[in-house]
Structure 1
Amino acid sequence: MNLAERLRRALDAPAPEDLLAGDLIEGASVTDGIVPAAVLVAITRRAEPGVLLTVRREHLRTHAGQVAFPGGRIDPEDQHAAAAALREAEEEIGLPASAVTLWGSADPYRTVTGYEVTPVLGAVDPDLPLSPHEAEVADWFEAPLAFLLDPANQRAIEAEFRGRMRTYYQIDWEGRRIWGATAAMLVNLSRRLNAWS
């Protein structure tokens, strides 16, 4: 059984106790105004599967310039998190919903910017002709799933943010800095996979 298949099956397993719930600042509480959101963790059907990631434009109001999964807030017309993730992926990188085989949802993650993000996992064919949304996405790339899920590549970093100490995760791959909520969701997928294996 390959890594992608193991990960798909791990979604059905009980959640491990060491999952990251959110990147809240130590001593702070975010309880009001939580915005539901969803992202698509699109895994390519390759012998060595990859994950599609975007680079957000520098002018965006939140998470500007960061590497992220395609996704965004869940709108009232979205029937569920998967519908929002698919809609956003089509808007942001031109990935048609019909090209995604959904596997299911992973553990929600709460961001310091007030979003509760549900990662939705699915498989896509490799080398699809994707086109980034000019106003939102500066670039997109595919990073190896095995590299992203390897705990040896997931560094915990402590830094001051808004006057408080915060620990966040970072994964560096070929000059790309994957950090914050995106890295944390990958850490959670890794922990879920390792708990199930």
Structure 2
Amino acid sequence: MTLAQRLRAALDEGHKRNDVTLVDRRDPRIEGDIMLAPAAVLVAITDRPEPGLILTERATTLRKHAGQIAFPGGRVDAGDADEIAGALREAQEEIALSPDEVQIVGTSDRYSTFTGFDIVPVLGVIPPDLPLQAQEGEVADWFELPLAYALNPANRARRAFEFAGATRHYYEIIWEGRRIWGITAAILVNLSRRLGHDRPAA
């Protein structure tokens, strides 16, 4: 069984289970009549004996989330056929990853942000050691970390901070001096749980 087939089987099995506790950032301020903007990210997994995960470091000159670690991705445009097409387009724009190199596995759980985005994580398997290239001005760098490390509950911590008069929580993963947190870490936590890596208490 190929890596893509194993991931697809695990994802399908995870979607059938009803005992998965997910990180949900739906904020009361975005409920009701406010329309969430569609967005998608590509969870690109390298086809190695020990699979890796491709992440980017956003440029420090960006207005929002400057310098943060993120998946390739962004807003789904009107010209995109669906979230998968949007994720593939963004990955090609940000790190020169050709859509032809991506074997789509499926989609994981949507994640709604308090900034008004409805993000669909798109899982795909890619060949290892592709000549990826960061887009100057938007992406400062890209890197690959072990998928097993990213999904291991022992490698994450739950943090708290005060915002708008309320205590909010987020997850943080540290790998070789890189801080993966916020939306990116939450999507990884959800994927870890969906794939059966941990079964948190309700």
Would you say same fold, with TM above 0.5? yes
Cα distance per residue 1:71-129 (max 9 Å; x no partner): 00000010110000000000000000001000011110012221110000000011100
CA distance in 2, matches of 1:156, 1:3: 30
Pairing of 1:39-78 with structure 2 (within 5 A) = 39-78=41-80
> Does the CA-based 8 Å contact 1:41-1:69 persist in structure 2?
yes
Cα distance per residue 1:154-190 (max 9 Å; x no partner): 2110111233211000110000000001000000011
> Does the CA-based 8 Å contact 2:73-2:86 persist in structure 1?
yes
CA distance in 1, matches of 2:51, 2:26: 27
Question: How far does residue 196 in structure 1 lie from its aligned partner after superposition?
Answer: 9.7
Query: What secondary structure is seen at the aligned counterpart in 2 of 1:36?
Result: strand
Query: What secondary structure is seen at the aligned counterpart in 1 of 2:29?
Result: coil
Question: How far does residue 10 in structure 1 lie from its aligned partner after superposition?
Answer: 2.3
Alpha-carbon RMSD across the aligned residues, in angstroms, is 2.1
* 164, 167, 170: which one aligns with 1:165: 167
CA distance in 2, matches of 1:169, 1:68: 14
Structure 2 unaligned runs (5+)? none
The aligned length equals: 194
> Does the CA-based 8 Å contact 2:55-2:143 persist in structure 1?
yes
Percent identity (aligned): 55
Deviates more, 1:44-53 or 1:156-165: 156-165
Partner of 2:24: 21
CA distance in 1, matches of 2:62, 2:26: 20
- Could you tell me the TM-score, scaled by structure 1's length? 0.91
Partner of 2:96: 94
> Does the CA-based 8 Å contact 2:4-2:105 persist in structure 1?
no
Structure 1 unaligned runs (5+)? none
Question: How far does residue 57 in structure 1 lie from its aligned partner after superposition?
Answer: 1.0
- Could you tell me the TM-score, scaled by structure 2's length? 0.89
